[in-house]
Structure 1
Amino acid sequence: MAVSGRARALYQRIADQLRAEITDGTLGPGARLPTEAEIAEKFETTRTTAVQGLKVLVNEGLIVSDRPRGYFVRSRKPMIYRPQGEFRKRPLSPEMDTFLTQMTEEGRDASQKIEVAVETPSRDVRDHLKLGADELVVVRRRVRYIDGVPYNSNDSHFPLALVQNSEIMRPDDIARGANVVLAELGHEQVRAIDEIQIRMPTPTEADRLELGPGTPVAVHVCTGYTQDGRPVRSVVNVLPGDRHLITYERSKPQVPTLTIRPANEDELLTVVDLWNHAASWLRDRGIDQWQYPPREERIKQNIAAGECWLVEDEEVPIATITIDAQADGDFWSPKEAAEPALYVHRMAVRRDVGGKELGSAMLDWASKQAAEQGKQWLRLDAWKDNDGLHEYYSSRGFSHVRTVEAEGRRSGALFQREAGATRGAGPDLVVTELDA
């Protein structure tokens, strides 16, 4: 025989009924609740008991009091919060960061306030970043607003020693993301640990996010690690429970596959960005290769001819390569130029995807293209004094033909390998065509 529980007080039963009507949609967002007097009459009780029941729902964050107008169901339009989006690739020059882009696509008015400080970390942040007692952090404090309402806070902490004098130190939005900046600094995050705690907000959090009574928060702490296990970023997100839907997506790991397609006429800037990104990385390492503006007219011609290609990860360009059948007369002899060959130009890979043999995969793809077109060779010319690049091509099956001294040209180290020869390293590249 079932044992009935303790009888609930009348004010609790009032709250139960109103809560059920809110949950099933009878009372929708913004709907006005019955007055205190109407509730008291319906339940044959006092107005004080009715107020007690209403206060339960106020404390749960389901309704708001707007005296003297009455009580109203709180309007909720939750933000979809996707922690797994942390490492998704972004364009090098996006118009807006991920949050602003997402909200704009949903037709909502979004903004954010950013402050940057150098400070002594809290004990939790110090533990997450494994810092010494005297080490400082740079913290980027951000409050995100949707339709004028503060929706969440996002405080990112970085060891000062890693990011000093970088963009991370400036109180400006980093549209391409701080993760890309970290990768450019040599501290790419390859994994993260997520911790989520549900609790009531602290007074500081409630004030910062303008929270009403009874609004719980989810605190999401994400700590990012490099390949060697070093923690380089600890982010504390405070998400009010009435404004967020946390969505996790899980899938079985797949063999990495990227797409490669011809660049279109509107993507000149994308190719230029990839060039400049690679040139900046070379400059930071004391290499003078590509330290001049990209030849945009030539790139336009390559795009128009279908010779300039983009590699994409989830539709975000991460690398570029150009292949054509034109031998450079400054480098290749007339006899060599008469031989059937494809020539590689402007191969550039984003630094945040470096170390994954994407360059090798693009060279293998170009080699297959050469074979399919009936060519004998895949050829390229490299910067004469970039010994590291020479070793790179040699290790990928290319033979050094000779080094040519041509007036006004810094390139001239000539390499070739047989068309169709592949090394089999790196991700698979699947060719996709431009939309008609």
Structure 2
Amino acid sequence: MARAFTDTRSAHQKIAAGLRRRITRGDLRPGVQLPSTAVLMEEYGVAGTTVQKALSMLKDEGLVVGQPGRGVFVQGGTQRAISPGVYLPPAPQGAPYRWVSEAEKESQHGSSRLLQVAVVTPPYEVAQTLGLDEGAQALLREQVLLLDEEPAELARCYHPLSLAEGTPLMEQRKIRGGTPTLLTEIGYPPREFVDEVSSEIPTEDEVVALELPKDMPIMLTFRTVYSDDQRPIEASLLAKAAHRYRMRYQVPIQHRD
């Protein structure tokens, strides 16, 4: 027998959740006017202040915008789908990082902002994945990836020092073509990656870097990139705003006799 369970969120959070889902899944398209406060009050059986709190949440998230004298209109659209596999191959010679070139295909402007390049003691799971001894250090390259000047992803990428030392990976600058291109050039071409995706409460650094509204979770991808002989060459923590983006994976189905 199923046990009883009650949604203990406040009324305005529930209303915002319902409207948010209709916006991100395309049922309410950009430019569409939302029902009036009076209509929403009657639909949900709540006071006007509750409706306004719900709409305020959606405004903070950039999904709706108020137009004085007219009403509230959908501003954001469906979530942008990001296909991780297209960014892992090295870029053609002289070409920009695939984040930029793939954005252009969607009529978007892709860019990045390098935050730091530093030798650090990596998080436990990163050290384990890279096969580092306890207390060993790794190279961290941290950057924010943007689409149309909007923060899309906070990328914290760790590399073994044995691989990175003496290479441009250690330099405080962006890498032409991105790290997959450089890794290939120095003899460690990316061959395979494994993603583990979770939904998490963001840290303060993630809130600031991604310009997140209050109480918005993130998608956190823990990615391991392997080169030849299954050697781990990169372990990354990739944080995205959960209400703006979704992950798209296309995986061939293997048939077994």
Per the TM alignment, residue 23 of structure 1 is displaced from its structure 2 partner at its CA by 6.9
Whether the 8 Å CA contact 1:59–1:215 is kept in 2: the answer is: no
Quote how far apart the aligned CAs of 1:19 are: 5.8
Q: Which has the higher contact order (CA 8 A, sep 6+)?
A: 2
Deviation at 1:211, TM superposition (A): 1.1
- Residue type matched to 1:171 in 2? Q
Q: Give the partner amino acid of 2:177.
A: R
In our comparison, the structure showing a higher alpha carbon Rg is 1
Q: 1:32-431 residue pairs with structure 2 within 5 A?
A: 32-37=33-38, 39-40=40-41, 45-51=46-52, 54=55, 58=58, 63-64=63-64, 71-76=72-77, 78-94=79-95, 96-114=96-114, 115-251=116-252
Q: State the Cα distance separating 1:142 from its structure 2 match.
A: 1.2
The change in CA–CA distance for 1:111 and 1:185 in structure 2 (over 3 A counts) is closer
What is the CA–CA distance in structure 1 between the aligned matches of 2:132 and 2:18, rounded to whole Å?
Answer: 52
Q: Aligned partners of 2:12 and 2:165: how far apart in 1?
A: 58
Which residue of the partner structure matches residue 409 of structure 1? none
**Counterpart contact for 2:157–2:235, Cα < 8 Å:** yes
Are 1:61 and 1:74, in contact at CA under 8 Å, matched by a contact in 2? no
> How far off is 1:170 after superposition?
2.0
Query: Structure 2: how far apart are the matches of 1:125 and 1:147?
Result: 31
Give the SS at the match of 1:158: strand
**Which amino acid is the alignment partner of residue 113 of structure 1?**
R
Q: Give the distance between the partners of 2:16 and 2:152, measured in 1 at CA.
A: 27
Give CA-to-partner distance per residue, 1:347-399, whole Å, 9 cap, x none: xxxxxxxxxxxxxxxxxxxxxxxxxxxxxxxxxxxxxxxxxxxxxxxxxxxxx
User: 1:13: how far off?
Assistant: 8.2
Shift of 1:45: 5.0
What is the TM-score with the length of structure 1 in the denominator? 0.48
Amino acid in the other structure paired with 2:187:
G
Give the secondary structure class of the aligned counterpart of 1:144.
strand
Residue identity in the other structure for 2:98 = T
Local SS of the residue matching 1:179? helix
User: One-letter code of the match for 1:109?
Assistant: H
Q: Is there any run of 5+ residues in structure 2 with no aligned partner, and where?
A: none
The percentage of aligned residue pairs carrying the same residue is 26
Distance (whole Å) between structure 1 residues aligned to residue 7 and residue 137 of structure 2: 56
Looking at structure 2, the residues matched to 28 and 18 of structure 1 have their Cα atoms a distance apart, in angstroms, of 11
Q: Is the 8 A contact 2:25 2:78 kept in 1?
A: no
Instruction: Report the CA distance shift for 1:149/1:177 in structure 2 as closer, same or farther (over 3 A).
Output: closer
Report the residue type matching 1:124 in the other structure: E
* One-letter amino acid of the counterpart of residue 151, structure 2: P
Distance across 2 between alignment mates of 1:45 and 1:242: 25
Structure 1 residues 220-253: Cα deviation after superposition (integer angstroms, max 9, x where no partner) = 1211233334322112211222322311122368
Give 3-state SS (helix, strand or coil) of 1:174's partner.
coil
Q: Distance in 1 between matches of 2:112 and 2:154?
A: 9
Q: How many residues align?
A: 248
Q: 1:141·1:154 contact (CA, 8 Å) conserved in 2? A: yes
Q: 1:233 to 1:60 in 2, by over 3 A?
A: same
Letter in 2 for 1:153: L
Q: Evaluate the alpha carbon distance shift between residue 40 and residue 210 of structure 1 in structure 2; reply closer, same or farther with a 3 A threshold.
A: same
* Residues in 2 aligned to 1:48 and 1:243: alpha-carbon distance in whole angstroms: 26
In structure 1, the gaps of 5 or more residues are: 254-436
Task: Give the direction of change, closer, same or farther, for the CA distance of 1:170–1:32 in structure 2 (3 Å limit).
Answer: farther
